[in-house]
Amino acid sequence: MEGGGVVFLRHGASLWNEADRFTGWHDVPLSPLGEKQAVAAAEICVQEGLCFDLVYTSTLKRTVKTAWLLLEALDDYTVPIRHLWQLNERMYGGLTGLSKSLTRQAVGEERFEQLRNRPPPLSEGSCFDPALDSRFRSVPRAAVPNGESFEQTRERVRPVWENEILPQAAAGKMVLVISSKNLLRSLFAEILQIPTHALRDVDVPNGCPMFFDVASGSMRLLGPGAGSVRQLDGLVRGQASLTPAGMVGAGRAESAETGALRRNAEGLNI
């Protein structure tokens, strides 16, 4: 490909993706499948004739490792990599670490969606508090979130997009941005100038590159697997029919673990 552009990539699957847990800023490693997805993404980049001038990742190891594996597969060891905390996943606050399916069963569909969209803050002294983790020392203490909505995540990433990433691509560079699902959803909403809530339930698959052409302002999915994610492809083409994520079937008996989670959620007023 000639000219400037941005390739967006969600990191390979992490261990907590596979466990269906709220992850956010918790620094979870890639799973073996996630490592394979990073290499497969590199193969798509080769097929598309992509050669990167600059790579951006978050400061979370799942995005950093994805970049390492992808660039190794491309046999490109000298491309500059910038790790920006502003590209970190949306902070899930008090939901961090909880099972998504069990939380849905415990609090019900309506409350689950409210919590997912605007999570409760982390409790003081939480083991998931990034302010207590030296790995996030680059983040100004006042900027460390203890829970974020999609809109707050969009506000966080906007300056980096407008002042750094987009200007690099506009200057003719091919830029790779590796981040997480909800951060990318929020960024896509900003790029496409659509309401953030329009992307809340649009899947962004692990390891599936998407190309943004700066000159035309168009976005398209790359690779042979693009057809399997038509919803996202339709969205960027303005043709999406957005549907809610699948709901857990009702009528199941409450397990001991679900009951404990429900009581814990009620006690925390979440």
Query: How many structural domains compose the chain?
Result: 1
11 is catalytic: yes
Q: CA 149, 153, 156 angle in degrees (round to 5)? A: 140
**pLDDT over threshold 90, residue 145:** yes
Regarding predicted confidence, which is higher, 134 or 176?
Answer: 176
The overall average pLDDT reported for the chain is 86
Confidence grade of residue 240 (pLDDT, cut at 50, 70, 90): very low
Least confident of 74-78, 122-126, 224-228: 224-228
State pTM to two decimals: 0.85
pLDDT of 252 reads: 33
CATH number, domain containing residue 100:
3.40.50.1240
pLDDT of 169 reads: 97
**pLDDT over threshold 50, residue 262:** no
**pLDDT over threshold 60, residue 270:** no
Q: Which of 18, 43, 48, 89 is labelled catalytic?
A: 89
Confidence grade of residue 198 (pLDDT, cut at 50, 70, 90): confident
Average pLDDT over residues 40-54: 96
26 is catalytic: no
Regarding predicted confidence, which is higher, 225 or 49?
Answer: 49
Q: Quick one: what percent of the chain has pLDDT higher than 90? A: 71
Tell me which residue range forms the domain holding 36.
Answer: 5-267
Q: Which of 11, 26, 35, 148 is labelled catalytic?
A: 11
**pLDDT over threshold 50, residue 77:** yes
Average pLDDT over residues 94-119: 96
User: pLDDT digit string (tens) for 26-35?
Assistant: 999 999 999 9
Regarding predicted confidence, which is higher, 177 or 260?
Answer: 177
**pLDDT over threshold 90, residue 66:** yes
